[in-house]
Structure 1
Amino acid sequence: MQPKTVATEILDIAYLDYGAPDGWPCILGHGFPYDVHAYAETAPVIAQAGARVLVPWLRGYGPTRFRSPSALRSGEQAALGADLLAFMDALGIERAVVGGYDWGGRAACVVSALYPERVVGLVSGNSYNIQNIARAMEPASPPEEAALWYQYLFHNERGRRALERNRAGFARQLWTMWSPTWKFDDATFAKSAASFDNPDFVDVVIHSYRHRYALVAGDPAYAGIEQQLAAQPPIRVPTIAIDGDADGVNPGTAHHARKFEGFFERRVFRDAGHNLPQERPAEWAQAVLDLRKAAAA
């Protein structure tokens, strides 16, 4: 499948487009360090059920490009949410089922929380993905802190240089640690690893992992969104939240249920790690279809 591209004010967003043009809109976002291939098996199943499934490369990944060389290569959560909203606007999509995990799930949560009128329903890997930056310096348990080693490495210039010099190596290390039961092969990894060659990948990643700890300033263009997110707004759209019981970076999000109002269901994918749609494509697709049915009820 050949990528398509749509222009927004900030980005030329590349995306894959599955299904009929008049199908019900469904937008799915990938995480770090993954790409659109996370939905290669999931998206066709959803499209066969009548959807138009759109899977964009996030800023800093694959063929997506910043339109201005002077734009801050921000990876903050507000920027990801703004990109998703701009993507919908550019394609003339008023409302959609949105979903994702990790960074892509965060973008979907941001739009669902702040612009619920644009969202039919949400499928969210790891539930409430909106960062509480004001509490970022509160320590977690030793096992949880150990799992975040890569974030702390990226806080210094040694980490930036390490990522720049070996993008694929770091990504493969995280894939292996985060999804210990997933036996992906070299070809599967290589398809996604090509997306990390984007010229803005390192800058966006480093900014993301520093901003979430309040170590660098955000883009002033998104300050208003960040201010709203600081209040940790509830998500009121119909939601199915998903965890993997073998996730090597997230110990589970059952305690997030209080952040959702209205229809909410949590599912746990057995023997699945962090890359939920690629590890369990049929189950992820079913969650999307079940969510749409619940939203229509």
Structure 2
Amino acid sequence: MSEKINYQRRRFLGTAAMTIATTQLGIFGSAIAQSSKTKPAVLSTTKPGTNKSFGSLKQIDAGVLNVGYAEAGRANGNPVILLHGWPYDIHSYVDVAPLLASAGYRVIVPYLRGYGMTRFLSSKTFRNGQQSAIAVPTITLEGDANGAPHPDASTYARKFLGKYAHRVINGGIGHNLPQEAPREFAKAVIEVDGY
């Protein structure tokens, strides 16, 4: 027997789970016990709108696309992929990228297909209008990757991250519990997005 998925209920339950879990993580000021050997992550405080742009942008050939992207942080840091949605672009993350980089992450913010410097390599490439089609020919990273897409990019993020899709925080709230992502990652997304 097949059951139709109720996406509104799923969003509501995801939001409720996010609220409960963030309270447990201490993001909203709840008291939590920690080992005396563990030091909490310290993020620099940045007011939204402080940063206006990324440094120099990079290009990479990825399948049928030449993808433009911004990168910040340590080259050997745990990668975090920040995906914009329509009608936004990579500058949606101009404030959060430095926070994540200061926490030791390698931050990658690609322009999705049809935005910025991302272009098809051939004029003969079939175009179908689905943002999820960028999932196959995108930047490949070794090891674990975390993602924080805008809601429009969530389908793409799940396809791109594959077996790591449970690590996606969808615009600060979503279907996935935040304890599945590192604490400072969730805190940075929530701090900048205001969730």
How does the TM-score come out when normalised to structure 1? 0.40
2:147 equivalent to 1:105: no
Unaligned runs of 5+ in 2: 1-54, 182-187
8 Å contact from structure 1 (residues 28, 98) kept in 2:
yes
8 Å contact from structure 2 (residues 158, 165) kept in 1:
no
SS at match of 2:157: helix
2:107 equivalent to 1:53: yes
The amino acid of 1:75's aligned partner reads G
The amino acid of 1:56's aligned partner reads P
Q: Measure how far apart 1:55 and its partner are.
A: 0.2
2:191 equivalent to 1:282: yes
2:181 equivalent to 1:127: no
Higher strand fraction (1 or 2): 1
Work out the CA distance in 2 between the residues paired with 1:120 and 1:44: 24
Residues 83-120 of structure 1 show CA distances to partners (whole Å, capped at 9, x for unaligned) of 4xx312xxx433201121133222113335xx21x457
Residues 160-181 of structure 1 show CA distances to partners (whole Å, capped at 9, x for unaligned) of xxxxxxxxxxxxxxxxxxxxxx
Match of 1:4 in 2: 58
Match of 1:87 in 2: 139
Q: Measure how far apart 1:75 and its partner are.
A: 2.5
Match of 2:83 in 1: 29
8 Å contact from structure 2 (residues 59, 66) kept in 1:
yes
Match of 2:128 in 1: 74
Within-5 A mapping of 1:142-153: none
Identity of aligned residues (%): 30
Higher helix fraction (1 or 2): 1
Residues 215-240 of structure 1 show CA distances to partners (whole Å, capped at 9, x for unaligned) of xxxxxxxxxxxxxxxxxxxxxxx643
Work out the CA distance in 1 between the residues paired with 2:136 and 2:152: 13
SS at match of 1:63: coil
Work out the CA distance in 2 between the residues paired with 1:21 and 1:120: 23
Work out the CA distance in 2 between the residues paired with 1:15 and 1:87: 10
Work out the CA distance in 1 between the residues paired with 2:180 and 2:63: 34
Unaligned runs of 5+ in 1: 129-237, 241-261, 265-276, 288-297
Within-5 A mapping of 1:127-276: 127=174, 239-240=177-178
Q: Measure how far apart 1:37 and its partner are.
A: 0.3
Q: Choose which of 65, 72, 84 in structure 2 pairs with 1:18.
A: 72
Q: RMSD of the alignment, in Å?
A: 2.9
Residues 241-274 of structure 1 show CA distances to partners (whole Å, capped at 9, x for unaligned) of xxxxxxxxxxxxxxxxxxxxx959xxxxxxxxxx
Pick closer, same or farther for the CA change 1:32–1:101 going to 2, 3 Å. Answer: same
The amino acid of 1:68's aligned partner reads S
Work out the CA distance in 1 between the residues paired with 2:191 and 2:73: 17
Residues 3-39 of structure 1 show CA distances to partners (whole Å, capped at 9, x for unaligned) of 1011111111110001111111000100000100000
How does the TM-score come out when normalised to structure 2? 0.59
Match of 1:155 in 2: none
8 Å contact from structure 1 (residues 4, 14) kept in 2:
yes
The amino acid of 1:21's aligned partner reads A
Work out the CA distance in 2 between the residues paired with 1:76 and 1:16: 22
8 Å contact from structure 2 (residues 166, 180) kept in 1:
no
The amino acid of 1:87's aligned partner reads I
Work out the CA distance in 2 between the residues paired with 1:20 and 1:106: 27
8 Å contact from structure 2 (residues 132, 155) kept in 1:
no
The amino acid of 1:282's aligned partner reads E
Work out the CA distance in 1 between the residues paired with 2:190 and 2:57: 21
SS at match of 2:170: strand
